[in-house]
Structure 1
Amino acid sequence: MYKNDMLEKGFIRFDAGADIGRLYKKDAAWIAEQFAEIEQAFEDLPVDVYAAGLHRYRRFSRAVILPWSNQVEWLPAMVNEDGEAVAEYFQGSFNPEFKDAYRSFPMLQQEMLENELLKRIIQFDFAQTYWEARDMVMPVNVGVHFVKLKVERDGDEAVSSPNCLHRDGEPFTFAHLVKRRNVVGGQNVIATVDDVDQFPQDIDEGHIFADFALTKGLESYGVADVAVSHYVSAVRKGSGDEAGERSMILIDYQPTVVKPL
């Protein structure tokens, strides 16, 4: 559906809810019911221990998708020294804040591993990617991140990691909005790969391919890591009384045999 655009431009924007409904012949009521379960899972995300004071909350799980059957299989958890089920995330040198470091996050809840809409999102995103023939005869690794930026007081600021234009180190990454409520910021920027480690305001405007905010549930975008860098600005509390929140599902894809990007 969007694969050619991903190949030609290096990024795509789409409405995952509408597209998945049409492709898999699911009505709006089914999408809403499944999405409500996902929204509920974001209510008790634990604090991101790698973001002390940055108002970020996170869970993470790993899966594989089999290109020849489109089957999604969740990988088992690791158990840390405290007996908690966790999954590790490693970006090598691509995240300057955690260079060559493993980060360990609590796993997604079991009901999310069984959520049919989340599985369809993983399958749909994968269908928008492109690979070499050798990659298609082995499982493709999938990382699924639930990330919430939440600010409760005026003056608080929540940031993503890394807080600059960057590449992720995985060939493809997709972002899906779950909730945006009473926030200022959270602006997405997509730029050239030559602008990594910079802020959008510090680069040539001609290097910016897109500048937008996600505002509706399941509004989405995807990037090809070899082609573009990307960034999301910090989130601050809006003018309303309730806490500000921006919640996202992030999904990345990595071949079994990893080669330099």
Structure 2
Amino acid sequence: MSRLKDTGFAYYDLKKQLQYEDLEKDLQQLTLAFDHLPIDEYAPHLNRYRRYARAIIMPKTYDIQWLPESTVNKKSYYEYFQGSFNPEYTGEYRRFPSLKKETMNNRLLEKIIRFDFKETFWMREDALMPFHAGVHFVKLQVDDEGEEAVSSPNNLHQDGEPFTFAHLIKRHNIQGGWNAISHPANRGKMPEDINKADMKASFYLEEPLESYGVYDPLVTHYVSKVKTGEKQGPGERCAILIDFQPTVIANPDEVRSMRGNTTEMVFV
């Protein structure tokens, strides 16, 4: 039985489920990657830091191939688009700094991507083509008492990709970072504004590689603001978010490159 397929939500402990000899070494490398995340330039006041990369993964073989980055002012980026699903950036492309090559080549990251993908399920026609994987490294960091770090969007939401998985890498000296799972009807609401009976799950991710996955059509999800904890010094919550969507043969009426506006088109 798949809890993800039945309820739209599943919890995982990948430290137990992905055991291999060098796991701790590879986890340490991923943890260090969060020390060098740039500020999210779309919300520099919200104490959010991130990098992003895009890959394709093949059905059956599970081969992973990282897609080429865009280069702007000699810096590497990947584009990200959620259509209408993020009310803070409706219809807006965002450009995030790319993951470092050594991070993309990390064996634990590849195992996480494959694990997540094997949890997904698709219509037969969707499964004829490679699948797109978006890999976000997101850190919520607070340096001083009274500061808050905020995820986006800051409400119960859906992402617009069929599947999203969240993997905690580090949680240090913070309050908050509470996760909530509810029904699609509560999209756009705050957890405190819905009936308790509508809360499908609520929990904290506390240990490295504690994880959860959602099937977007069946649920909404949320993570609360982060504040400094009881110890002196800064606090942070570091997580890897991985989403999946199919690369189907699209309806010609919905493909922007079929609209004839060649002035905005580029060669590949």
What corresponds to 2:11 in structure 1?
13
Q: Deviations over 1:145-197 (max 9, x none)?
A: 00000000000000000000000000000000010000000000000000011
Q: CA deviation at 1:242?
A: 2.3
What corresponds to 1:4 in structure 2?
2
Q: CA deviation at 1:113?
A: 1.1
What corresponds to 2:184 in structure 1?
193
Partner AA of 1:18 in structure 2:
K
Aligned length: 251
What corresponds to 1:124 in structure 2?
115
Of 45, 59, 64 in structure 2, the residue corresponding to residue 72 of structure 1 is 64
Q: Deviations over 1:70-113 (max 9, x none)?
A: 10110010112x22110011000000000010000000001011
Partner AA of 1:66 in structure 2:
M
Whether the aligned pair in 1 keeps the contact of 2:182 and 2:198 (CA below 8 Å) is yes
What corresponds to 2:257 in structure 1?
none
Whether the aligned pair in 2 keeps the contact of 1:68 and 1:136 (CA below 8 Å) is no
CA distance in 2, matches of 1:210, 1:79: 41
2:134 paired with 1:143: yes
Q: CA deviation at 1:214?
A: 0.3
Whether the aligned pair in 2 keeps the contact of 1:68 and 1:137 (CA below 8 Å) is no
Of 219, 232, 235 in structure 2, the residue corresponding to residue 228 of structure 1 is 219
CA distance in 2, matches of 1:250, 1:141: 14
What corresponds to 1:240 in structure 2?
231
CA distance in 1, matches of 2:65, 2:191: 37
Q: CA deviation at 1:135?
A: 1.7
Q: CA deviation at 1:224?
A: 0.3
Whether the aligned pair in 1 keeps the contact of 2:79 and 2:96 (CA below 8 Å) is yes
Q: CA deviation at 1:133?
A: 1.1
TM-score, with normalisation over the residues of structure 2? 0.92
Moved over 6 A (4+): none
Of 189, 202, 224 in structure 2, the residue corresponding to residue 211 of structure 1 is 202
Please give the secondary structure, in 1, of the residue aligned with 2:156: coil
TM-score, with normalisation over the residues of structure 1? 0.94
| Structure 2 unaligned spans of 5+ | 255-268
Percent identical pairs in the alignment equals: 47
2:167 paired with 1:166: no
RMSD, matched Cα: 1.3
Q: CA deviation at 1:52?
A: 2.0
Rg larger for: 2
Q: Deviations over 1:13-40 (max 9, x none)?
A: 011121112xxxx13xx11000000001
What corresponds to 1:175 in structure 2?
166
What corresponds to 2:37 in structure 1?
45
Whether the aligned pair in 2 keeps the contact of 1:91 and 1:101 (CA below 8 Å) is yes
Whether the aligned pair in 2 keeps the contact of 1:45 and 1:58 (CA below 8 Å) is yes
